[in-house]
Structure 1
């Protein structure tokens, strides 16, 4: 079987994102600048420099929980998204190339759910901008229409501030963003319907649609909210089907997520196969099902470049294309 060329060859990744000699990933410079500005402006730098608890925060309603997540978990969340996009060690080329292809140009609608403090969408945008800045991908005009849903008002405010911070550097690379940030309670049917209505209205005239679901397993699995949330996911997936629509679900690679019996992705896959088998297409690699992929890497610490931390990624990608 002929190997398909990569959208961005791992050998061609710039040193600003991947250090081949050390085999270490670097967070995009614009992302680091936006995150540290948030920390400094909201007096969270000292908290971020403290050792992270063994079981890091999963976010929450309170400002304290949101601040802890921004300080201790933002860069880990960002690193997982970047690793899925770059795939420097060729662990998931189909998923990485699909992500890069969607954002190669044109008008794209992205739903970032739950958006938290903006780690996922900010990482996608700043990684793209850095690849363009370094001449690794063409600077085709790209408009990204962002619908970000999140329960925490404080987290939404941080995400909006982060987008505002990077806007000028994105536009310098021919990337324009049109974001809106909405209250979203995945366990509430009315809240979910309001979000879907906004997504539908804002996705008009978009050539591609993508749901980015990231860092949700702590709430859905650990806190036991999956059964309450499942009807809303049914509605969300049903109304997200389109000619060129997909879902990328990114989580930490842990037993809680990847265990074949009882892990979150196992539960998610059972739901997909039972409810959506007729309508979805899972990513394929060399003729075999590759809906779930894993990768890991060392990452340069954004606050102390001499340090490294490990990131472990588990990701699923699904196509939600209309069936004719």
Structure 2
């Protein structure tokens, strides 16, 4: 664990007690807002609007402008853990992303705020000697229904590659247009995931999802994606795997995280020795809004993490 007094100023405003994007990610985010002609739109964000994205370009850009920073700061908050509320999750993240080969399946990835903030946070902690700088190879398959969101994700990651490499983090990435409601597409997605990682000796398979509850936070929509989620967990059930779900803390998120129990209970019943629920907690925090240059005092996050039990 890292003492809150030692948290790098690139990620933590000590006086305001707020998390922030590092300069590199903030700069790239603003550059891409301009590329999407969305900078003025981002200035209208009140920190409370909740666009959930969608398949169209307009929806993707709106979500990027309004929700990218909020989604990113959730991940930064749980990774830094300034209030010592997520110690088990922080330890698990630091252990997983310390060295070796990690294969990430990024589901409903949007424009990638959660992954990009995780990677850039690791860079800053490495640069400040708070984490060891060991070779880390990360292979990402990013899946989303929106071609525009995937385009922005890939462009941001491409621009951040030199910055990541400077800290010993090498990223290889692909994108996949994926409708979570289609079990056929999900089967193809998993075939692709295993195909692109077939020549890699992966230390761990890591499935991450952020803010999926905007769509799946009700019984009707969850039922539409349930078969796909079950297929993904079944395919990874015999592998060294982790599932991390990061959501805003609200009614839809609580519903979604509760419904996930149906998926993982089935896995636990069949692979009794494989999965265990490690955390299911929620928390509020403050974050820096870089466009309006103000602290948002009502950030919130709820988390559920499942990890293979190797004991």
- Same-fold call, TM > 0.5? yes
Q: Aligned pair count?
A: 306
Equivalence for 1:231: 227
Q: Deviations over 1:9-68 (max 9, x none)?
A: 434211211223321111222221121111012211011101348542000111111111
TM-align CA RMSD? 1.9
1:217 to partner: Cα distance: 0.6
1:307 to partner: Cα distance: 3.8
Residue 37 of structure 1, aligned match among 23, 31, 51: 31
Q: Does 1:276 align with 2:263?
A: no
CA–CA separation in structure 1 for the residues paired with 2:47 and 2:175: 29
Q: Does 1:313 align with 2:301?
A: yes
Equivalence for 1:287: none
Q: Deviations over 1:232-251 (max 9, x none)?
A: 11110111235531010000
Q: Does 1:164 align with 2:152?
A: no
Equivalence for 2:292: 304
The two structures have a TM-score, normalised by structure 1, of: 0.89
Residue 258 of structure 2, aligned match among 248, 259, 266: 266
Gaps in structure 1 of 5+ consecutive residues: 1-5, 284-290
Residue 132 of structure 1, aligned match among 109, 126, 142: 126
The two structures have a TM-score, normalised by structure 2, of: 0.93
Q: Deviations over 1:183-222 (max 9, x none)?
A: 1111111210111012212333111111001110111124
Higher-helix-fraction structure: 2
Gaps in structure 2 of 5+ consecutive residues: none
1:264 to partner: Cα distance: 1.8
Distance 1:9 1:199, change over 3 A: farther
1:76 to partner: Cα distance: 0.8
1:143 to partner: Cα distance: 0.6
Equivalence for 1:143: 137
Equivalence for 2:65: 71
Equivalence for 1:288: none
Q: Deviations over 1:280-304 (max 9, x none)?
A: 1121xxxxxxx20112211111123
CA–CA separation in structure 2 for the residues paired with 1:167 and 1:92: 28
CA–CA separation in structure 2 for the residues paired with 1:225 and 1:91: 31
Q: Is contact 1:110–1:147 with CA below 8 Å preserved after alignment?
A: yes
Question: Which stretch of structure 1 is more off in the superposition, 191-200 or 49-58?
Answer: 49-58
Q: Is contact 2:234–2:267 with CA below 8 Å preserved after alignment?
A: no
Q: Does 1:94 align with 2:88?
A: yes
